[in-house]
C-alpha cells in the first residue's frame, strides 16, 4: 500500500483548506524538474516525485519502503552515509557527487543535496533529498526558472515563518504561516510598516536588529518572545539574512522564524531532568562510574570513591582494571556488554585501594557518541559483600534449621499461607514412607493424603483458618492462642491404623505477622495401650480392698486410694502433700520408727503392724507391707504401702484369749464333780454294762482335761475350735 506522507509535511492552521493545500503540494512536488525523494532517519524512501520515476524507471509500489542505500553503488555508499551524517552539524548539504543504480541496473552520476525537514522538533526529522542527474540538469534549467515563480506559494506550506523586509521597518511580504500567527492576511502585511501591527516596544527592538543587518551586512540569529493572535506568548528563533545586490548593498532582508516554545520547554525539562540525574548520580548509594574502553575512569560519584576506599579526585584518572581482583573478569565483562549493548547483575570481585576484597554486582551500558562509536562504559556497582555474608549465614541457618527439624523425635511438617509444604522432616518420611523431595512445594492438602487417604483439613489449617468441622475430627482437641493439639486415628506407611497426638503452632516473621504453620505428629498407639493397662491397674488399686498409700522418700503423701479414705475418714485432697505423721497415735515408741526408717532407706521391704489414729481420733490397727520404688538408675524415689485394717482381728484375738482363760477355770471346776460322779457310779450303778459305759465316758472327759492341762489349749486347733463357740 502506498504510504501517504502528506500529513508529515503540511502544517496549515486553516483545516478547511488542508486537503486543497496537500493536493497542491503534491502537484508542486511532481512539477519540480529534478528527481526528488524524502527519506526517514533509517534511509527508507517514504515519498518521491514524478521526475524520480522517470529518471530511475521505478513504479511507486516498487520504491516506497525501499532503502535509498540499495540504489547507491557499493563503492559510493560511504560517500552517501557521510553526507547524511553532516546533517548532524549542518542544516543542509550540497553538491555531493556519487553514482546510483537505475531499475535496469544502469549507472548514473548524480549531484546530491539534502536538508532535514524540521531539525528543531521531534515531530519530523525526515530528510528531503534532491538527486540531480548530472547529464539531465542542463535540459531542465529553463524549466526550473519557470518553477521559481511558484516558490512563494510553496513557502505557504512550510511549517516555519518566512518574510522579507524592503527596509529597516517595512515588510515586503510574508508567508501564510507568519501572517496567520499575527491574525492577518498575507496581503495586509505586504508593504506594511511594522509599527502598524506590532507593539511599540517590540517593533523598536525589531528595527534595531534590522538596522544591524543592513549596516553590518551580516546574518544574525535572535530569540524573541512574540504574542500570537490568541494572546499566547511564543518564543521565536529568528534568522535574518541580508540579500546583497550587484552594487554590494543590502537590497532585502530575508527572515525566517521557528516557534521553539515547545523546544524551550523541552530544554528546560531536559535541564531539570539532567539536574535530577546529577542529583541521583551524586547522591546514589550505589557506586556509579564511566570509564573508557581502555579502563580509564573519567567520571565517578562519591559512593564509588567510598566503596573503593579512595577520595573522588584521585579516583578519576585511575584505571578500573587496577580494582579488579581478576583482570580477566574485566575482559569478560567487555565482551558481554559489547555483544548485547548492556550487562545486568554481572557478579565480580573487586578490591579496595587497601587491598581488601569486596563482592559486587555490576550493571553497565555502552557509552557511545552520536555516530554510534563506542567510547567506553557506564556502570552502576552495588557492594554485596555483606549480602554475601548474610546469604552464607542464611544458607547455614537453613541447613541448621533442616538438621534441627530432622533431629526432632516427632514427625513434623510446615506450610506457608498458601498451604504449600515448605518442610518435611526425616521422622515424617519414616512415618509416611514419602520423601521430602516428593512433598515440598505441593499444596491442596497434599500433607493429609498419607495420613487420611483423602485431602482434608489438618491442625495446621485450624491455625491459619479456624474450621468448626475440624474440631469433630480430633479427640481431646485443645486450642490456646496460636496453638492447637489433639488426637486422631491415621494410617501409617504400612496401611495400619495408629493413634497419633498432633500439635500445630503458628509461624511468625520478625514483625509478628503469621507466615505459616508447623505441625508435629507423634505415634502414641503404644502409649495408649499402656495407658489402658495402667488404667486397669489404677482402678484395681483405687477401688481394691486394701489400703494403698504412695509417699516420697520423706513420707509426704502423694497418693491414697478410696479404701484409705474409707478407713481413716480423710479425703484424698486432705492428705496429699501432708506427711504420714498425721496418722500417728503417739502409742508407738521412737525406737520402732527408727528401725522402721532404717529398713526402708536401706532398700528393704518392711512388714508389720501400725497402731494409727483416724480423722475422728479413733484408733485403728493395720498390717502393712511397705516397699521402696526405684527409678531406672536404681535410686529410691517413692515408697508404696499396702495395708489392711486389722482392728477387728485384733479384737477377736483378744476375745479368744479371754475365752481360753475362762475355759481353763471351767475345767478346774469340772474335774472335781467328775471325780465324785465316778465314785458314785461305781457304788450305785449295779448293772455292770451300764456302769462300764458311764465310766468310759468319764474317762474320756478326764483324758480331754489332761490334754488341756498339758498345753493343748494354746494350739491353733483349739483356738479354731473355740472360735466356733465364741
Are the C-beta atoms of residues 709 and 689 closer than 8 Å to each other?
no
pLDDT digit string, tens, across residues 241-295: 988 876 778 889 999 999 888 877 777 777 777 777 777 778 888 999 999 989 9
Phi (first) and psi of residue 538, to 5 degrees: -60, -45
Give the residue from 339, 373, 181, 225 showing the smallest Cα distance to 189: 181
Question: Collapsing DSSP states into helix, strand and coil, what is residue 550?
Answer: strand
**CA 34, CA 56: separation in Å to the nearest integer?**
12
Q: Which of 91-105, 137-151, 438-452, 523-537 shows the highest mean pLDDT?
A: 438-452
Domain residue spans of the chain:
6-150, 160-265, 284-383, 391-521, 544-645, 650-724
Comparing 160-265 with 544-645, is the CATH topology the same? yes
Total H helices, total E strands in the chain: 26, 26
pLDDT digit string, tens, across residues 180-228: 999 999 999 999 999 998 899 889 999 999 999 989 888 899 988 999 9
**CA 157, CA 238: separation in Å to the nearest integer?**
18
pLDDT at 136: 47
At residue 360, does pLDDT exceed 90? yes
Share of the chain above pLDDT 70, in %: 83
Q: Which phi-psi region, left, alpha or beta, contains residue 492 (left: φ > 0; alpha: ψ -120 to 50)?
A: beta
What is the Rg, in whole angstroms, of the alpha carbon atoms belonging to the chain?
61
**Is residue 238 exposed (0-12), middle (13-18) or buried (19+ Cβ within 10 Å)?**
middle
**CA 543, CA 512: separation in Å to the nearest integer?**
51
Angle at which helices 716-724 and 647-684 pack, to 10 degrees?
90
Question: Can you tell me the mean pLDDT for 39-64?
Answer: 88
Give the residue from 25, 12, 19 showing the smallest Cα distance to 181: 12
- 654/355: higher pLDDT: 355
Are the C-beta atoms of residues 96 and 82 closer than 8 Å to each other?
no
At residue 677, does pLDDT exceed 70? no
Of 122-131, 458-467, 610-619, 643-652, least confident by mean pLDDT is 122-131
pLDDT digit string, tens, across residues 524-573: 888 888 888 888 877 877 777 889 999 999 999 999 998 899 989 999 99
391-521, what's its fold? Answer: Beta-Lactamase (3.30.450)
544-645, what's its fold? Answer: Beta-Lactamase (3.30.450)
Q: What is the mean pLDDT of the chain?
A: 82
Query: Taking the domain 6-150, which CATH number applies?
Result: 3.30.450.20
pLDDT at 709: 60
Cβ-based neighbours of 469, under 8 Å, separated by 6 or more: 457
Grid coordinates of 145: 526558472
pLDDT at 559: 93
- For domain 284-383, the CATH class is alpha beta
Other Cβ atoms less than 10 A from the Cβ of 654: the count is 10
pLDDT at 522: 92
* DSSP assignment letter at 57: -
**CA 473, CA 314: separation in Å to the nearest integer?**
74
At residue 359, does pLDDT exceed 90? yes
Instruction: Beginning with the edge strand found earlier in the chain, give each strand of the sheet holding 297-300 in spatial order.
Output: 297-300, 287-292, 374-383, 357-368, 342-351
Query: Taking the domain 160-265, which CATH number applies?
Result: 3.30.450.20
Query: Confidence band (pLDDT; 50, 70, 90) for 137?
Result: very low
Query: Confidence band (pLDDT; 50, 70, 90) for 120?
Result: very low
pLDDT at 589: 85
Grid coordinates of 444: 491442596
Question: Can you tell me the mean pLDDT for 281-310?
Answer: 90
Model confidence, pTM: 0.41
CA distance readout (Å), 519 to 402, 455, 465, 504, 585: 15, 16, 14, 4, 56
**CA 668, CA 630: separation in Å to the nearest integer?**
59
pLDDT at 649: 81
pLDDT at 10: 39
**CA 328, CA 332: separation in Å to the nearest integer?**
6
Question: Can you tell me the mean pLDDT for 669-691?
Answer: 65
Amino acid at each position: 500500500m502506498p504510504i501517504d506522507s502528506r500529513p508529515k509535511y503540511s502544517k496549515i492552521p486553516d483545516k478547511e483548506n488542508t486537503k486543497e493545500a496537500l493536493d497542491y503540494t503534491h502537484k508542486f512536488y511532481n512539477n519540480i524538474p529534478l528527481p526528488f525523494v524524502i527519506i526517514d532517519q533509517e534511509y527508507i524512501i517514504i515519498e518521491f516525485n514524478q521526475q524520480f520515476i522517470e529518471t530511475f524507471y521505478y513504479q511507486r509500489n516498487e520504491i516506497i519502503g525501499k532503502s535509498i542505500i540499495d540504489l547507491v553503488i557499493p563503492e559510493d555508499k560511504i560517500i552517501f552515509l557521510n553526507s547524511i551524517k553532516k546533517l548532524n552539524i549542518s542544516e543542509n548539504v550540497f553538491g555531493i557527487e556519487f553514482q546510483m543504480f537505475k531499475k535496469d541496473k544502469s549507472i548514473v552520476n548524480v549531484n546530491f543535496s539534502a536538508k532535514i525537514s524540521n531539525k528543531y522538533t521531534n515531530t519530523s526529522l525526515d530528510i528531503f533529498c534532491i538527486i540531480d542527474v548530472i547529464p539531465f540538469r542542463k535540459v531542465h534549467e529553463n524549466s526550473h526558472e519557470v518553477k521559481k515563480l511558484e516558490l512563494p506559494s510553496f513557502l505557504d506550506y512550510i511549517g516555519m515563518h518566512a518574510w522579507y523586509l524592503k527596509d529597516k521597518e517595512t515588510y515586503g511580504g510574508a508567508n501564510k504561516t507568519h501572517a496567520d500567527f499575527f491574525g492577518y492576511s498575507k496581503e495586509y502585511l505586504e508593504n506594511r510598516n511594522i509599527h502598524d501591527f506590532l507593539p511599540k516596544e517590540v517593533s523598536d527592538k525589531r528595527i534595531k536588529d534590522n538596522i544591524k543587518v543592513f549596516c553590518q551586512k551580516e546574518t544574525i540569529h535572535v530569540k524573541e518572545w512574540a504574542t500570537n493572535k490568541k494572546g499566547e506568548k511564543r518564543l521565536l528563533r529568528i534568522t535574518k539574512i541580508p540579500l546583497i545586490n550587484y552594487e554590494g548593498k543590502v537590497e532585502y532582508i530575508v527572515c525566517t522564524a521557528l516557534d521553539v516554545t515547545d523546544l524551550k520547554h523541552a530544554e528546560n525539562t531536559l535541564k531539570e531532568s539532567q539536574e535530577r540525574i546529577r542529583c541521583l548520580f551524586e547522591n546514589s548509594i550505589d557506586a556509579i562510574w564511566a570509564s573508557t574502553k581502555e579502563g580509564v575512569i573519567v567520571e565517578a560519584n562519591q559512593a564509588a570513591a567510598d566503596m573503593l576506599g579512595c577520595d573522588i579526585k584521585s579516583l578519576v584518572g585511575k584505571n578500573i582494571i587496577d580494582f579488579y581482583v581478576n583482570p580477566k573478569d574485566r575482559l569478560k565483562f567487555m565482551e558481554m556488554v559489547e555483544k548485547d549493548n548492556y550487562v545486568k547483575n554481572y557478579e565480580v570481585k573487586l578490591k579496595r585501594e587497601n587491598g581488601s576484597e569486596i563482592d559486587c554486582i555490576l550493571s553497565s551500558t555502552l557509552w557511545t557518541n552520536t555516530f554510534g562509536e563506542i567510547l567506553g562504559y557506564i556502570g552502576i556497582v552495588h557492594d554485596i559483600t555483606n549480602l554475601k555474608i548474610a546469604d552464607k549465614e542464611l544458607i547455614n541457618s537453613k541447613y541448621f534449621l533442616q538438621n534441627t527439624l530432622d533431629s526432632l523425635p516427632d514427625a513434623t511438617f510446615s506450610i506457608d499461607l498458601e498451604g504449600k509444604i515448605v518442610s518435611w522432616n526425616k521422622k515424617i518420611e519414616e512415618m509416611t514412607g514419602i520423601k521430602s523431595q516428593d512433598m515440598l512445594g505441593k499444596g491442596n492438602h497434599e500433607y493429609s493424603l498419607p495420613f487420611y487417604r483423602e485431602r482434608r483439613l489438618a491442625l495446621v489449617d485450624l491455625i491459619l483458618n479456624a474450621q468448626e468441622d475440624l474440631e469433630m475430627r480430633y479427640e481431646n482437641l485443645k486450642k490456646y492462642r496460636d496453638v492447637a493439639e489433639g488426637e486422631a486415628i491415621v494410617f501409617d506407611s504400612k496401611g495400619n491404623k495408629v493413634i497419633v497426638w498432633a500439635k500445630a503452632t503458628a509461624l511468625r516473621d520478625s514483625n509478628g505477622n503469621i507466615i505459616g504453620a508447623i505441625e508435629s505428629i507423634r505415634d502414641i498407639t503404644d502409649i495408649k495401650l499402656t495407658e489402658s493397662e495402667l488404667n486397669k491397674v489404677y482402678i484395681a488399686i483405687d477401688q481394691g480392698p486394701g489400703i494403698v498409700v504412695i509417699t516420697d522418700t520423706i513420707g509426704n503423701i502423694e497418693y491414697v486410694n478410696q479404701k484409705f479414705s474409707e478407713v481413716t475418714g480423710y479425703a484424698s485432697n486432705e492428705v496429699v502433700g501432708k506427711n504420714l505423721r498425721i496418722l500417728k497415735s503417739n502409742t508407738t515408741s521412737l525406737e520402732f520408727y527408727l528401725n522402721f526408717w532404717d529398713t526402708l532407706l536401706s532398700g528393704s521391704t518392711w512388714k508389720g503392724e501400725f497402731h494409727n489414729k483416724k480423722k475422728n481420733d479413733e484408733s485403728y490397727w493395720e498390717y502393712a507391707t511397705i516397699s521402696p520404688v526405684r527409678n531406672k538408675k536404681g535410686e529410691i524415689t517413692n515408697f508404696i504401702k499396702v495395708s489392711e485394717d486389722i482392728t477387728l482381728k485384733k479384737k477377736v484375738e483378744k476375745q479368744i484369749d479371754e475365752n481360753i482363760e475362762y475355759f481353763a477355770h471351767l475345767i478346774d471346776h469340772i474335774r472335781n464333780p467328775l471325780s465324785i460322779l465316778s465314785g458314785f457310779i461305781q457304788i450305785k450303778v449295779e448293772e455292770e454294762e451300764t456302769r462300764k459305759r458311764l465310766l468310759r465316758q468319764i474317762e474320756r472327759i478326764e483324758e480331754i482335761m489332761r490334754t488341756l492341762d498339758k498345753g493343748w489349749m494354746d494350739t491353733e486347733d483349739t483356738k479354731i475350735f473355740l472360735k466356733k463357740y465364741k
